[in-house]
Chain A
Amino acid sequence: MGLLSGKATCNTHGQDSSYFLGWQEYEKNPYDEVQNPTGIIQMGLAENQLSFDLLESWLDRNPDAAGFKRDGQSIFRELALFQDYHGLPAFKKALVEFMSEIRGNKVTFDTSKIVLTAGATSANETLMFCLAEPGEAFLLPTPYYPGFDRDLKWRTGVEIVPIQCTSLNGFQITETAIEEAYQLAQKRHLKVKGVLVTNPSNPLGTTMSRNELNLLVNIITEKNIHLISDEIYSGTVFSSPGFVSIMEILKDRNCENTQVWNRVHIVYSLSKDLGLPGFRVGAIYSNDDMVVAAATKMSSFGLVSSQTQYLLSALLSDKKFTQNYISENKKRLKQRHRKLVSGLEKAGISCLKSNAGLFCWVDMRHLLRSNTFEAEMELWKKIVYDVKLNISPGSSCHCTEPGWFRVCFANMSEDTLKLSMQRLKAFVDSITTTLHNQSNHQSIKNSRRRSLTKWVFRLSFDDRVTGER
């Protein structure tokens, strides 16, 4: 049969990696409180399931929004025919106001500069198409969202060069790390077109400090490159030091009407803050008219359903709702986060101090057989197969230090989280006991041990991984 394209046959979609094992295992044996209480608990999925009741009650009170009605009148035809890639004006207005609200109204956004896309996945790819040629590169601080390997590189031909961050300073971006990334790019003969950061960070769950943000502005000014700030988790910041958007920094530095102003682009989505990943609502915000123009046309390949735009325009225009949602959602995330952190503490596990996101960046280095990624994989497999928790190994996020894992806390009930921590504690106790007693005859409830030698595993650094699905 005829050949398929290079893109079809290459591996850059990332889905052949062993990382998928966790997913597959979960699907084969998913935990269910009643039906399958010994199944695998999904802790690798960064979903926000904590605030659905708020959305459901709003829907109940406002049936017109989902029923294609405006002020009691049917607007079905109008919506059915609306395919303008400029987006539904009422939705764009509500969205930019929501984005502003999330930033404490410290910055405002212009509806003429926002482009709607089918999810942040589409937004990030579209920006790559707009800002870089095949073979050029973007710098990304590690650890980063595994999905970027596919989203930024696959069809665009753009390369990612890592800015290595380490636990020495809480994985913050440093000038040295950026310089090193530049040198690495040079060695690989790659022209750097920009930096892409996720703020708040996935997988770290931390907001970027003002220092880091200022550093980034300095770098992109000096090197004349772009900065993309994926702020998809901006509405999940639940405690201090609070969220500082890159736009705020630019404003503080009086960067409006300067060239650097035009080279900063924000990506947003309602998949995390509102917990609506299925609705495919993403956005690109750019101060550069040409980027907005090109991205708008490109959005033809991934428009947001007008049915969904209308529903969300009604939802987000309800300021009483949005104010309450934003604050209540934060409260619940904070509470949940605390439960995970204390559960981990009881198991003798610490995590990176975090104030945002739907996950924690957990330090299990002390549980590794050795300071290697092979050991990390061994531990990960044990946690998936024995402890029956699907968590994300740091290597899949391109972390340079073995032993870190991303553990999600907002995609399950409180009871399930409690159970997962109990399982983890039992597992850690058993390992610790083993290490202390050097004995193989412990039987621990909820934990079956296997010989370490069974877990021979070859990790190839070239294995690409994919993100949550």
Chain B
Amino acid sequence: MAIEIEQPSVSVGLSKVAVSETHGEDSPYFAGWKAYDENPYEESTNPSGVIQMGLAENQVSFDLLEEYLEQQPEASTWGKGAPGFRENALFQDYHGLKSFRQAMASFMEQIRGGRAKFDLNRIVVTAGATAANELLTFILADPGDALLVPTPYYPGFDRDLRWRTGIKIVPIHCDSSNNFQITPQALEAAYKEAESKDVRVRGVLITNPSNPLGATIQRSVLEELLDFATRKNIHLVSDEIYSGSAFSSSEFVSIAEILEARQYKDSERVHIVYSLSKDLGLPGFRVGTIYSYNDKVVTTARRMSSFTLISSQTQYLLASMLSNKKFTENYIKTNRERLQKRYQMIIEGLRSAGIECLKGNAGLFCWMNLSPLLEEQTREGELALWDSMLHEVKLNISPGSSCHCSEPGWFRVCFANMSEQTLEVALKRIHNFMQKRERRRN
């Protein structure tokens, strides 16, 4: 007689982390990706395809990089006969290549117009900012603790900060009444919310310039954030991944400048994350860094970076590139100009279609206000509009709800990951869409 034995489910094998959904990849945010992948716009072969405007990539300055590589081939080939190859191939020291750290420190200084100094021995190398943010979270918080993060924020944080670390994100609610700036009241409210749930707050994590707002954080707000962190005795992590994408150098104030002005008082609670994925347009190379003013954090982060080191081949290339001051000065300046130009183009294009955006001054995207178009001022209303944008207008843009924005109707629209021609096509489509709506209403 057959005996039915209940087969153990697959998860007898796997951990909770492995089967959880905190990787966040089932959200509608990723559905847009899918739609693009299935029908990608291509100028000649698929002109009616979906235009990808949900990808914050910087493709406007590749020619500068290519030119550099043309002129300095030894940076990528270790020179004729590859004399530096062996040493480079063997280099797995988690301190990171000294010449690379030196070059990064000087690049970060240049981006800040020399208004802040960086010590190459406080730089920890990681495979991208994704790794840097997770690593810092492991170091600064225990499972069950919380980080306060201002909304709207980069959707990837839900995974990067929470998935394997087991920590919670408590939002600092920001809204359009004051251009989504962080207020002391919002900070206190977020802290109290955590307290009410018996959750220990370990720090505040900001992105400056902001993703998705595309705007730098004002000096006064940074001062308030540092004071708040000091009062509560918590950490302050400043993800400055878009620092080189501020359209004008003077408009970006780094937390490093605030610290320098205070002679580094209370600086042991401050940590900066940086990466070359946005400013240099090299997300594939996995180049991230943690810069910490806290010695113990530097030491611990360094050891932990064993799990996520940057390929020495890539460190070598970038050490060469970024130590070339002539190259970096020209790159930073030109890149800013081109991003600003793109930004102007999209803002004007949207304005002429009757659409307003948050006043931005940085980043690879603008924060567009489509709330007047919503059938209902709810998340559902927003997602319905997003769906039409995706399937009718064939533009993949990011709905504010995926960024945890508390006000429905806002969308992040990227402008630097395509050619100017493609951007024009996109703007035209939006124009037509808006005109059709006007006609339908009248």
Contact = CB atoms under 8 A, between A and B. Distances in A.
Is the pairing of A and B real?
yes
Interface of A: 1-2, 4-8, 13, 15, 47, 49, 52, 55-56, 59-60, 63, 66-68, 74, 76-77, 79-83, 118-119, 121-122, 125, 129-134, 150-151, 154-155, 224, 226, 259, 262-263, 271, 275-281, 288, 290-291, 294, 297-298, 300-308, 311, 469
Interface string B128-144: 10110010001111110
Contact of B82 (A13, A56, A130): A56
Contact of A278 (B59, B91, B143, B282): B91
Given A52-B85, A80-B62, A131 B317 contact: no
B85 A80 contact: no
Contacts of B145: 5
Contacts of A60: 80-82
Interface string B77-99: 11011100110111111100000
Given A56-B85, A305-B285, A5 B140 contact: yes
B186 to A, nearest CB: 21
A151 B57 CA distance: 33
A297 B23 contact: yes
Most chain A CB within a 10 A radius of its CB, from B11, B77, B143, B306 = B306
B307 interface: yes
A307 B311 contact: yes
Given A52-B89, A55-B85, A122-B307, A279 B294 contact: no
Most chain B CB within a 10 A radius of its CB, from A80, A133, A300, A308 = A80
B69 A76 contact: yes
Interface stretch (B12-20, B114-122, B243-251, B429-437): B12-20
Contacts of A291: 13-14, 18
Contact of B234 (A2, A150, A151, A303): A2
A342 B169 CA distance: 61
Contacts of A259: 7
A308 B14 CA distance: 31
8 contacts: A77-B62, A118-B286, A118-B311, A133-B16, A278-B88, A278-B312, A301-B307, A305-B285
Contacts of A47: 90
B66 interface: yes
B89 A305 contact: no
Contact of A2 (B19, B66, B269, B313): B269
B336 interface: no
A30 to B, nearest CB: 14
> Which 10 residue pairs spanning A and B have beta carbons closest together?
A278-B312, A306-B284, A305-B311, A294-B18, A82-B284, A277-B92, A278-B91, A302-B308, A130-B18, A83-B283
B65 A2 contact: no
Contact of B307 (A7, A56, A302, A305): A302
Nearest to A468: B92
A280 to B, nearest CB: 5
Contacts of A262: 10, 13
Contact of B285 (A80, A131, A278): A80
B211 to A, nearest CB: 16
A154 B304 CA distance: 9
A280 B18 contact: no
A83 B284 contact: yes
Given A130-B15, A280-B127, A308 B314 contact: yes
Most chain A CB within a 10 A radius of its CB, from B127, B284, B309, B310 = B284
B12 A280 contact: no
Interface string B204-227: 000000000000000000000000
B152 interface: no
B94 to A, nearest CB: 7
B308 to A, nearest CB: 4
B307 A118 contact: yes
B290 to A, nearest CB: 13
A130 B310 CA distance: 23
A225 B175 CA distance: 50
A2 B296 CA distance: 12
A81 B62 CA distance: 10
Contact of B317 (A224, A281, A307, A469): A307
B164 interface: yes
Nearest to B266: A1
A74 B307 CA distance: 31
Given A55-B89, A305-B313, 18 more contacts: A4-B140, A5-B138, A47-B90, A59-B77, A60-B82, A79-B284, A82-B284, A132-B15, A150-B306, A155-B164, A271-B92, A275-B89, A279-B313, A291-B13, A300-B159, A304-B311, A307-B311, A307-B314
A4 B140 CA distance: 5
Nearest to B142: A5
Contact of B65 (A80, A155, A281, A297): A80
Interface string B231-246: 0011100000000000
Nearest to B306: A121
Nearest to A58: B82
Contacts of A119: 92, 307, 309
Nearest to A79: B284
Interface string B1-30: 000000110111111111100010100000
A311 B313 contact: yes
Most chain A CB within a 10 A radius of its CB, from B18, B59, B94, B202 = B18
A301 B86 contact: no
A227 B300 CA distance: 30
